[in-house]
């Protein structure tokens, strides 16, 4: 089967490695230069362990991280600088870097039969039996294929920060009286935090200033204190308005969505990449078991994967806040920006 992987992020690269281990030679197309990534800490949840174990990456990155909730020789998650994971997956993997998927080719029945790729040498056409959209939340491949995307705005915004100071613990999280949440992650080279806050826009959310943010964070989440006090500038704090993503159909003839192109979960779940890596594992196996029939591979993939992924989507805490009866208001000192 000629497989084209559109997007060489964590999920596309992992799928590439898993398919090669099964004797296929997929073409991986990535618009960015090799090795490019935005440095940040990253929580690799247990859902992503198996695929990374199979390609030998888990053992390589584990010592580079901080364990979260260790259990014997394993842990519920490991927090590691994201570049270490991406470099380990990409090592020795042939990828068409600095090339973008620009168009899909269809036959008369509407089946996707290839991609048009744009690179430094101009445009080329690559025929395919199956295009796998690994091009992220704003997937162009998904849109060009005509697969529906349902974005849901969360009722609250998010305030986040990243510093170069490791925090006291690798992870902590707390719920506030109104169902909002605050948490932090820490890896050997730094730490980052997030909290829900009122949807007031970046200017108003950052207006109380860096010292007020540090005070609030270390009061509500003392385990993050060393990390948040490592902030040097308000530029290291960002305001965003996250959206969840679900896609009712994951495939149509000749194209399938996995990873962030198929789903994106709320900020407090920490599972988006673990689920995406699990998608890659399931799809690689479905393809290996249906080498001559891409539709059968996609159908088999959905049968295996929907019972795993759909419940996470339905139960995303961003969709339905869990509230203590009657408490709909933030408790004292919890609101952000502060009321006064």
Ligand X SMILES: Cc1cc2nc3c(=O)[nH]c(=O)nc-3n(C[C@H](O)[C@H](O)[C@H](O)COP(=O)(O)OP(=O)(O)OC[C@H]3O[C@@H](n4cnc5c(N)ncnc54)[C@H](O)[C@@H]3O)c2cc1C
Only segment of 59-67, 134-142, 167-175, 327-335 that touches ligand X (CB under 6 A): 134-142
**Rounded distance, CA 74 to CA 313, Å?**
26
Please choose, from the candidates 41, 333, 10, 39, the residue with its C-alpha nearest in 3D space to the C-alpha of residue 171: 41
Q: Counting contacts by CB under 6 A, is residue 193 touching ligand X?
A: no
In the bound complex, what is the minimum distance in angstroms from residue 177's beta carbon to ligand X? 26
Residues 5-24 that bind ligand X (CB under 6 A): 6-12
Q: Counting contacts by CB under 6 A, is residue 180 touching ligand X?
A: no
Nearest residue (CB) to ligand X, 309 versus 335? 309
**Rounded distance, CA 154 to CA 194, Å?**
15
Of the residues 18, 51, 100, 163, which one makes contact with ligand X according to CB under 6 A: 100
Q: Do residues 134 and 6 lie in contact, with contact meaning Cβ atoms separated by under 8 Å?
A: yes
Nearest residue (CB) to ligand X, 8 versus 179? 8
Q: 286: helix, coil or strand?
A: helix
The 138-177 contact track toward ligand X, x by CB under 6 A, reads --x-------------------------------------
Q: Counting contacts by CB under 6 A, is residue 112 touching ligand X?
A: no
Q: Counting contacts by CB under 6 A, is residue 101 touching ligand X?
A: yes
Of the residues 1, 24, 32, 126, which one makes contact with ligand X according to CB under 6 A: 32
Q: Which letter, b or e, does each residue of 212-245 get, where b requires 16 or more Cβ atoms within 10 Å of its Cβ?
A: ebbebbbebbebbbbbbebbeeeebbebeebebb
Of the residues 16, 42, 90, 294, which one makes contact with ligand X according to CB under 6 A: 42
Only segment of 25-33, 55-63, 151-159, 226-234 that touches ligand X (CB under 6 A): 25-33
Q: How far is CA 167 from CA 173, 184, 190, in A?
A: 13, 8, 7
Residue whose pair of structure tokens reads 């490019």 in the numeric block: 36
Of the residues 3, 55, 90, 134, which one makes contact with ligand X according to CB under 6 A: 134
Q: Do residues 8 and 29 lie in contact, with contact meaning Cβ atoms separated by under 8 Å?
A: yes
Nearest residue (CB) to ligand X, 104 versus 335? 104
How many residues touch ligand X (CB under 6 A)?
28
In the bound complex, what is the minimum distance in angstroms from residue 116's beta carbon to ligand X? 11
Q: Counting contacts by CB under 6 A, is residue 268 touching ligand X?
A: no
Backbone angles phi, psi at 336, to 5 degrees: -140, 130
In the bound complex, what is the minimum distance in angstroms from residue 137's beta carbon to ligand X? 6
The DSSP bridge pattern shows strands 27-30 and 96-97 to be parallel
**Rounded distance, CA 22 to CA 1, Å?**
12
Q: Counting contacts by CB under 6 A, is residue 271 touching ligand X?
A: yes
Residue nearest to ligand X (CB): 9
Q: Counting contacts by CB under 6 A, is residue 247 touching ligand X?
A: no
Nearest residue (CB) to ligand X, 142 versus 214? 142
In the bound complex, what is the minimum distance in angstroms from residue 272's beta carbon to ligand X? 3
Q: Do residues 171 and 125 lie in contact, with contact meaning Cβ atoms separated by under 8 Å?
A: no
In the bound complex, what is the minimum distance in angstroms from residue 127's beta carbon to ligand X? 17
Please choose, from the candidates 313, 248, 243, 244, the residue with its C-alpha nearest in 3D space to the C-alpha of residue 275: 313
**Residue 322, Cβ density class (10 Å: 0-12 exposed, 13-18 middle, ≥19 buried):** exposed
Only segment of 18-26, 128-136, 221-229, 308-316 that touches ligand X (CB under 6 A): 128-136
In the bound complex, what is the minimum distance in angstroms from residue 338's beta carbon to ligand X? 25
Measured at the alpha carbon of residue 69, what is the angle toward residues 63 and 261, in degrees to the nearest 5?
75
The runs of H, that is alpha helices, within 262-339 are 272-289, 294-314
* Residues in touch with ligand X (CB under 6 A): 6-12, 29-32, 42-43, 45, 100-101, 134-136, 140, 259-260, 270-274, 276
């Amino acid at each position: 089967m000629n497989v084209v992987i559109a997007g060489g992020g964590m999920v596309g690269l992992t799928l590439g490695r898993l398919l090669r281990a099964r004797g296929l030679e997929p073409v991986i197309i990535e618009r960015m230069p090799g090795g490019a990534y935005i440095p940040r800490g990253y929580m690799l949840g247990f859902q992503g362990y198996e695929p990374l174990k199979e390609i030998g990456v888990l053992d390589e990155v584990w010592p580079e991280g901080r364990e979260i909730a260790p259990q014997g020789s394993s842990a519920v998650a490991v927090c590691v600088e994201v570049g270490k994971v991406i470099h380990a997956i990409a090592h020795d993997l042939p990828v068409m870097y600095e090339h973008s998927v620009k168009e899909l080719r269809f036959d008369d029945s509407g089946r996707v039969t290839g991609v048009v790729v744009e690179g430094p040498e101009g445009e080329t056409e690559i025929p395919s039996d199956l295009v796998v959209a690994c091009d992220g939340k704003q997937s162009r491949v998904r849109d060009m294929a005509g697969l529906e995307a349902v974005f849901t705005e969360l009722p609250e915004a998010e305030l986040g920060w990243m510093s170069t100071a490791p925090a006291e613990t690798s992870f902590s999280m707390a719920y506030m009286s109104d169902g909002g949440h605050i948490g932090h992650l820490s890896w050997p080279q730094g730490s980052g935090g997030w909290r829900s806050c009122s949807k007031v826009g970046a200017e108003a959310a950052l207006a109380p200033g860096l010292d007020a943010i540090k005070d609030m964070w270390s009061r509500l989440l003392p385990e993050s204190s060393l990390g948040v006090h490592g902030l040097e500038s308000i530029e290291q704090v960002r305001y965003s308005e996250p959206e969840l993503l679900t896609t009712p159909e994951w495939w149509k003839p000749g194209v399938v969505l996995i990873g962030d192109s198929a789903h994106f979960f709320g900020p407090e779940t920490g599972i988006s990449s673990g689920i995406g890596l699990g998608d890659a594992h399931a799809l690689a196996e479905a393809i290996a078991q249906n080498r001559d029939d891409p539709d059968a591979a996609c159908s088999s993939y959905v049968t295996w994967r929907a019972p795993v992924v759909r419940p996470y989507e339905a139960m995303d805490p961003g969709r339905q806040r869990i509230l203590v009866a009657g408490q709909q208001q933030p408790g004292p000192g919890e609101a952000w920006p502060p009321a006064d």
